[in-house]
Amino acid sequence: MTTPPDDDSIRPFEVSVDRDEIDDLRRRLERTRWPDQLPDSGWEYGTERESLRELCEYWHEEFDWAAFEDRCNEFEQYETTIDGQRVHFYHVRSPEPDATPLVLSHGWPGSVAEFLDVLGPLADPAAHGGNRADAFHVVAPSLPGFGFSGPTSEQGYDVPRVADTVAELMDRLGYDRYVAQGGDWGGLVTALLGANYPDRVEAIHTNMLFVNPSSLEAEDPTELLDEQGWADYEATAEFRDGETAYHEIQATKPQSLAYGLTDSPAGLAGWIVEKFRTWSDCDGDLDAHFDRDRLLDNLSVYWLTGTINSSMRIYYETDVGAATPDAVDVPTGHARYPAEVYKTPRAWAEAVYDIRHWCEMPEGGHFAAMEVPDLFVDDLRSFLGEFD
């Protein structure tokens, strides 16, 4: 992919997978050197070998590439160039002329493919058993450095710069007022849109709320916590203690890791699939929770675009404490999915955000739009539908 450095036009985009790329992937999968695994260790040390082997065999032998293209191309896609960087995005205009503009921002190790099951219901609710009044004009970009936007080409592409890119994209599309939604890094993108563009962003909705405890107006932020707040704090601390080695590697030496993940599709799958199992509401049964093709859609986007390195690099570039806004004054809705790995105590959230909506979801986790698309859509409608 080559990016015209100064071309701010909006150009149609279509996913097309070259046969040579498929053949190369299959050769690499066929020649995978599998590591040993200790008896009866399961997923304790990381991705379980036989589960990964089965997934890779399916990717090698049965994954339908034509169906993958069809899923990716079901909705209109475009690309443009912002700040010298290619930006790919879905732009799904609702048939309802008064629909509210909505921008969706994904995170890592997801991609814009997370949203494929919700684009239709959000844009055309009447065609999916919903109310026409709940319609959105949906924009879903591949964040810079991820997927079809291609790798970033210079240092400094942190989350605040990504948020500014998303704001410029919405401006370029002619949306002077809109609402925003995001989770994971997309949650921080969404918070920054609300904090930095309150004249344009009417409301935000997140699956994950970013708060810097040291910025709160309390000598000891834990003094603000009630019983539930303490439970949230302790659950998040437990996750950080036992499950964030990936973050430390990607925030310090992403390039070293990228060689293996860029060269080996099995290595890429092993690194990403474990996160989907651990961070989702699957109770350890990944196959029962996620359609295998949808998991491989996400993996295939990373593989075909060669963006695992640049997607990880955002951890190196971003100082989360400095990037997290001290105040977000636009109306904010939050969906708390039970398996979400970062649980921000409500008292902390209310000290930073203008919380108008807080919903304890009955199921779902970090990848809510993929895991429970109906619940994801319903909660967005119940809150963001108020703003038009």
pLDDT tens, residue by residue, 112-130: 999 999 999 999 999 999 9
Choose among 189, 171, 172: nearest CA to 180.
189
Catalytic one of 157, 337, 366, 379: 366
233 noted as active-site residue: no
Q: Enter the CATH code of domain 11-384.
A: 3.40.50.1820
Catalytic one of 171, 175, 316, 388: 316
Domain ranges of the chain: 11-384
Alpha carbons within 13 A on the beta-carbon side of 160: 12
366 noted as active-site residue: yes
Q: How confident is the model at residue 1 (pLDDT cuts 50, 70, 90)?
A: very low
3-state secondary structure string, 181-237? EECCHHHHHHHHHHHHCCCCEEEEEECCCCCCHHHCCCCCHHHHCCHHHHHHHHHHH
Share of the chain above pLDDT 70, in %: 98
pLDDT at position 388 is 62
Catalytic one of 117, 124, 158, 184: 184
The overall average pLDDT reported for the chain is 96
User: Residue 7 above 90 pLDDT?
Assistant: no
Q: 5 or 353: whose pLDDT is higher?
A: 353
User: Residue 175 above 90 pLDDT?
Assistant: yes
pLDDT tens, residue by residue, 57-88: 999 999 999 999 999 999 999 999 999 999 99
